[in-house]
A and B are shown apart, each in its own frame.
Chain A
Amino acid sequence: MIAFGSAITKPDVYARCAEPGISRAAEADSEVLAQTSTGTIFESYNRLLERGARCQGLEALVLVHQDAEIVDAGFCAIIRRALADPAVGVAGCVGAIGVRSIAWWEASVTLASFVNRYDELGGGDLPAFSWAWADAPAYAHTGEVETLDGFVMVLSPWAVRNRRFDESLGEFHGYDLDFCLQVREAGRKVVTADFRAIHHRPLRMLPDPEPWMAAHVAVAEKWYGRIPGIGSEPGDWRERALRAEAERDIARAMAHSKALEAEARVRGAQRALAEIRGSLSWRLTAPFRRRARSAV
Chain B
Amino acid sequence: MALDGAVQAPGAVRRVIVFASSITDPAAYDAYARPGIRAVAEPASDVLALEAAGGVCRSNNLLLEVAARREDLEALVLVEEHVEPTDPGLCGKVRAALSDPEVAVVGWMGATGVSSIAWWDGRISCGPVVVRYEEHGGGELPACGWTAVHRPPHEVDSVDGRLIALSPWAVRELRFDERLSIGFGYDLDFCLRVREAGRKVVTADIGAVHHHPLELVREHALWVEAHVRMAEKWDGRVPGVANDRPDWKQRSRRAEAERDAARTLAYSNASHVEARARPLERELAAMTASRSWRATAPLRRLNRLLGQRF
Contact B252 A240 (CB under 8 A): yes
Is A213 among interface residues, defined by CB-CB distance under 8 A?
Answer: yes
Could you tell me which residues of chain B, from 130 to 181, have a CB within 8 Å of some CB in chain A?
131, 133, 135-139, 141, 144-147
Interface bin, chain B: 35 or more
Contact B292 A282 (CB under 8 A): yes
Is B306 among interface residues, defined by CB-CB distance under 8 A?
Answer: no
Is A120 among interface residues, defined by CB-CB distance under 8 A?
Answer: yes
Chain A residues, CB < 8 A from B121: 249, 252
Cβ of A238 to closest chain B Cβ, rounded Å = 4
Cβ of A108 to closest chain B Cβ, rounded Å = 15
Contact B259 A247 (CB under 8 A): yes
Could you tell me which residues of chain B, from 27 to 59, have a CB within 8 Å of some CB in chain A?
none
Contact A260 B145 (CB under 8 A): yes
Cβ of A114 to closest chain B Cβ, rounded Å = 13
Contact A258 B272 (CB under 8 A): yes
Could you tell me which residues of chain B, from 206 to 220, have a CB within 8 Å of some CB in chain A?
214-217, 220
Contact B257 A216 (CB under 8 A): yes
Is A77 among interface residues, defined by CB-CB distance under 8 A?
Answer: no
In the complex with contacts A246-B228, A253-B217, A280-B310, A285-B295 CB distance below 8 A: yes
One of B138, B253, B270 near A217 (C-beta < 8 A): B253
Q: Which of B69-77, B97-105, B190-198, B261-269 contacts A (4 or more CB under 8 A)?
A: B261-269
Cβ of B310 to closest chain A Cβ, rounded Å = 5
Cβ of A296 to closest chain B Cβ, rounded Å = 13
Chain B residues, CB < 8 A from A285: 292-293, 295-296
In the complex with contacts A252-B121, A258-B266, A264-B141, A282-B293 CB distance below 8 A: yes
Q: How far is the CA of A240 from the CA of B250 in the complex (A)?
A: 11
Q: How far is the CA of A212 from the CA of B268 in the complex (A)?
A: 15
Contact A206 B265 (CB under 8 A): yes
Cβ of A193 to closest chain B Cβ, rounded Å = 25
> Which of A101, A236, A240, A256 gathers the greatest number of chain B CB atoms within 10 Å?
A256
Contact B274 A255 (CB under 8 A): no
Q: How far is the CA of A106 from the CA of B220 in the complex (A)?
A: 16
Is B232 among interface residues, defined by CB-CB distance under 8 A?
Answer: yes
Is B8 among interface residues, defined by CB-CB distance under 8 A?
Answer: no
Q: How far is the CA of A76 from the CA of B279 in the complex (A)?
A: 36
Is B6 among interface residues, defined by CB-CB distance under 8 A?
Answer: no
Contact B277 A246 (CB under 8 A): no
Q: How far is the CA of A206 from the CA of B224 in the complex (A)?
A: 24
Q: How far is the CA of A212 from the CA of B261 in the complex (A)?
A: 8
Q: Which of B18-26, B86-94, B283-291 contacts A (4 or more CB under 8 A)?
A: B283-291
Further contacts, 9 of them, CB under 8 A, given A217-B253, A280-B310: A121-B279, A205-B267, A216-B260, A251-B265, A256-B146, A256-B147, A260-B216, A262-B277, A268-B139
Residue ranges of B at the interface with A (Cβ–Cβ < 8 Å):
116-118, 120-121, 131, 133, 135-139, 141, 144-147, 214-217, 220, 223-225, 227-228, 231-232, 246, 248-249, 251-281, 283-284, 287-288, 290-293, 295-296, 299-300, 310
Show 9 residue pairs from A and B whose CB-CB distance is below 8 angstroms, ordered by the A residue: A101-B257, A220-B256, A237-B248, A251-B262, A257-B214, A258-B269, A264-B214, A276-B288, A285-B292
